[in-house]
A = this chain, B = another copy of it.
Amino acid sequence: MIKVGIIGATGYTGVELLRLLATRTDVEISVVTSRELQGTSVHRHFPNLRGHLELTFAAPDSEQLAACDVVFYATPHAVAMKSVPKLFDAGVRIIDLSADFRIKDVSLWEQWYGSEHSCPALVAKAVYGLPEVNREKIKQAQLIAVPGCYPTAIQLGFLPLLENNLVECSQLIADAKSGVSGAGRKAVADYLLCEATESIRAYAVTGHRHHPEICQGLNNLTESEVKLTFIPHLTPMIRGLLATLYAPVKSGLDVSSEQLQSMFEERYANEPFVDVLPQGEVPATRDVKGSNRCEISVTYLAHTNTVVVISAEDNLVKGASGQAIQNMNIMFGLDETTGLNNIALLP
């Protein structure tokens, strides 16, 4: 029985961790913390958990957390770094869904997240939790930085192209569309139904925090320097993230859709949660709603000598909480798919 603690579980990644963990028989949710809702029943706040979880939100308590086998941080950025060191020293495994340990270049992190990092030493020890790249390291890790939602979909899409040195790395484009849950459960006017539904718009056009994270990951896959144009869009739906990726083929290379298809299928043949669609089918976010599956299609457009990759994930599952649990499964030597093989809700 794995004893689990969840810190800051009042948002959407928090409730998603609870949804995916509460029915498992090999996991005991030991403590769920929230300063704000301390003393409130968790299912009063998240009624979908009625009958499945009889816990109240607790104040963060070091001893209780230190007694856990693994602690998930579902906190805003720049929160985890403050209490992770203590838990780390206590030997607890830590899976951080925030950005605090994702970027190895601490000064770059500080620039994008606007605060001083309080434990740079642990950044070096943290493993970036993208199993399709780092599975062996995850097995040994004590501290996992769970990738962001955009970085997951975009890295998985570009990965075979970069590993195979096929495209012009300095001219990558990622046009990404995210559901509104990506913004969290913050009471901000921009995300009101009346502001966000029946409309689509780009945001963070001149720079988004996930940009350095994505570039770090892509640069690890290739020797050329990656240059990426990344434009995220707010899409009128709750869940789902679709990344449409454009990459010009290196001059002199001869490619075809069939060849790309095989390359992608081989690369992901043993990946339980990356699903390369048959040629001619295209991903839709509804096909992965509530599941940990990432759907990918790849197409070669001869007239512009461009590869178009499309990847779809549920931003709260493969883009956050599902991937966090996938990491947990790997860390504890479990079957990687444990508790993650539920089928997407369609329609």
Please list the residues of chain A having a beta carbon within 8 angstroms of any beta carbon in chain B.
Answer: 12, 15, 18-19, 22-23, 44, 46-52, 170-171, 173, 175, 177, 180-181, 185, 187-189, 191-203, 205-206, 227-229, 231, 233, 235-240, 242, 244, 246, 248, 275, 281-291, 293, 295, 297, 299, 301, 303-304, 306, 308, 310, 312, 341-347
Most-contacted residue by chain B among A194, A240, A301, A342 (CB, 10 A): A194
Is A284 in contact with B342, judged by CB distance below 8 angstroms? no
- Complex partner residue of A192 from B187, B240, B288, CB under 8 angstroms: B187
Q: How distant is the Cα of A284 from the Cα of B303 in the complex, in angstroms?
A: 31
Task: Kindly list chain B residues whose C-beta atoms are within 8 Å of the C-beta of A236.
Answer: 193, 235-237
What's the least CB distance linking A310 to chain B, in Å? 5
Is A196 in contact with B193, judged by CB distance below 8 angstroms? yes
In the complex, residue of chain B having the shortest beta-carbon distance to the beta carbon of A215: B303
Is A228 in contact with B304, judged by CB distance below 8 angstroms? yes
Task: Kindly list chain B residues whose C-beta atoms are within 8 Å of the C-beta of A301.
Answer: 206, 229
Task: Kindly list chain B residues whose C-beta atoms are within 8 Å of the C-beta of A189.
Answer: 185, 187
Which secondary structure characterizes the binding site on chain A?
Answer: mixed
Is B173 in contact with A23, judged by CB distance below 8 angstroms? no
A287-B47 contact given A19-B346, A343-B19, CB 8 Å threshold: yes
- Complex partner residue of A306 from B188, B229, B240, CB under 8 angstroms: B229
Q: List 27 A-B contacts (CB under 8 A).
A: A19-B345, A48-B286, A48-B346, A50-B295, A185-B192, A185-B194, A187-B187, A187-B188, A191-B194, A193-B195, A198-B198, A198-B237, A198-B238, A198-B239, A200-B285, A201-B242, A201-B283, A201-B284, A202-B282, A202-B310, A205-B297, A205-B299, A227-B303, A229-B301, A229-B306, A233-B242, A233-B244
Q: How distant is the Cα of A301 from the Cα of B229 in the complex, in angstroms?
A: 8
Task: Kindly list chain B residues whose C-beta atoms are within 8 Å of the C-beta of A284.
Answer: 47, 199-201
In the complex, residue of chain B having the shortest beta-carbon distance to the beta carbon of A22: B343
A344-B233 contact given A192-B185, A282-B201, A304-B171, CB 8 Å threshold: no
Kindly list 18 other residue pairs between chains A and B, CB separation below 8 angstroms, not including A49-B343, A201-B282, A201-B284: A15-B347, A23-B342, A48-B291, A50-B295, A173-B246, A177-B233, A187-B189, A192-B193, A197-B237, A199-B237, A200-B285, A201-B286, A202-B242, A205-B310, A227-B303, A227-B304, A229-B306, A231-B244
What's the least CB distance linking A81 to chain B, in Å? 26
What's the least CB distance linking A132 to chain B, in Å? 16
Nearest 3 Cβ contacts at the A-B interface: A199-B286, A201-B284, A48-B344
